[in-house]
Amino acid sequence: MRATTAILQKIFTRQFYVQNTGFFLVLFYLLFGVVNSSSLISYHYSLMLGFLGNKGFLLLVLLLWTAYLLKCTGFVLKVMQTQGYEFLYATMGSMEKKKRRKIWFLIHTGIYMPVLIYAAIAASVAVQKGWMLSAGIVIVFNVAMCVWPLALYERKLAQPDVLFFTGQLQRWINRHFTKPPVLFFLYELLTQFPRRLFSTKLFSAAVLWITFYLMRSGEYFELRGLEIGVMLSVLLHLQIILHHRAFDDTWLNFMDNLPISMFRHYSRLMGVYAILYLPEIIMIAVNARTLATVAGLVMVFALAFSLLVLFRCLLFYPKINPEIQVRYVLLISFVALFMVLGRYEWPAIILLQIAAAVIFFRKYRSYEPYIE
């Protein structure tokens, strides 16, 4: 029993945190890195008092926790239907239902643990202040978030071929549209991994919203502050960028044999990330249209686009796995950050674009998936 649980924890829990390293780095920065260490406890205490004492703020926090829960649940379901993990159905299906539910609970709470820890502290603060209604809402909500996903896991185990909404959406799109190559990967995300896409976009939008909120509350607008927020939102896309390489390795290797020039391949790559970051571009343009010049907004967009393309091109080195990629991504981000703070944005953008192009044109034709 313990051995089975340990193996399943590695398959689900450990892999979840590895694949979402970029997300947790950004989250850690937002929760702890932007605050002076001497005032860290008072900051989070004030934050908890803010959403526990305000029902609208509390609703927003519950929605963010729900988005994280959907991310956790979607990850477990996707692992179960990923090629190579078919043994999970026989392994889990052969267990007694009581033991299986216990294992599902351990896996799910292990993934959902960051929210549980923060919610437990918030509930204790609410009890201390005598806000029993807020404490009850937080406790009941999180208990429900730990229980109802177990039914989804059981349903998936009993009916592995169940078609959810994305299956119907996929069939409708296939009947009505012929996709150009630039949309192949985006179509894959929308139909096969919608929770991954929507959760990434939700947290990316939250980072940008917080950036604009801080600048408005301070009654100032600084283009460099917006650029830092954009860099954080780009880091949240690391999981999607890793999935892009897996998608190309699995489904688009046939394109290497087509009579297509390297320039068109590179244009397709740039088009993918231009479209992928389009929602953030629209959000930035709407919120900063009266605060920044057109040239400033173009510079912000170019910085985000250049980082995305370079982070993807790094993966044309086949031995770069998620852990190694994070090291290079952080190094590049720190260098870009210092150049932004020094007002060398355009030189940084040019260097990023040159590095991405050099890597792509040198490695694309010789790239082969690396199997450890």
- pLDDT above 70 for 169: no
* Alpha helices (H) along the chain: 2-9, 15-19, 21-28, 40-52, 55-80, 87-93, 97-129, 132-158, 165-176, 184-192, 194-217, 223-235, 238-251, 262-276, 278-288, 294-314, 322-341, 345-363
On whether the pTM is more than 0.85, the answer is: no
Alpha carbon of residue 188 to chain centroid: 16
pLDDT digit string, tens, across residues 234-258 = 998 988 998 898 888 887 777 777 7
**Phi and psi torsions of 365, nearest 5°:** -70, -30
Closest CA to 202 of 240, 149, 147, 169: 240
- Residue spans of the domains in the chain: they are 1-162, 163-372
Count other C-beta atoms under 10 Å from residue 318's C-beta: 15
pLDDT of residue 311: 94
Closest CA to 26 of 213, 223, 229: 229
What DSSP assignment string belongs to 307-335? HHHHHHHHTTSTT--HHHHHHHHHHHHHH
CA 288, 291, 293, 297 dihedral sign is negative
- What are 99's two structure tokens? 């033991």
For residue 229, give the amino acid letter: G
pLDDT digit string, tens, across residues 174-191 = 677 777 888 888 888 887
Interatomic CA distance for residues 304 and 12, integer angstroms: 31
pLDDT band at 276 (very low <50, low <70, confident <90, very high): very high
Reported residue count of the chain is: 372
Mean pLDDT of 296-325: 89
Torsion of CA 190, 194, 196, 200, to 10 degrees: 70
pLDDT of residue 3: 66
CB distance 367 to 255 below 8 Å: no
CB distance 368 to 324 below 8 Å: no
pLDDT band at 1 (very low <50, low <70, confident <90, very high): low
Q: What is the mean pLDDT of the chain?
A: 82
CA distances from 331 to 180, 182, 214, 325 (A): 35, 29, 26, 10
pLDDT digit string, tens, across residues 14-68 = 888 877 777 777 777 666 665 666 677 777 778 788 888 877 788 888 888 888 8
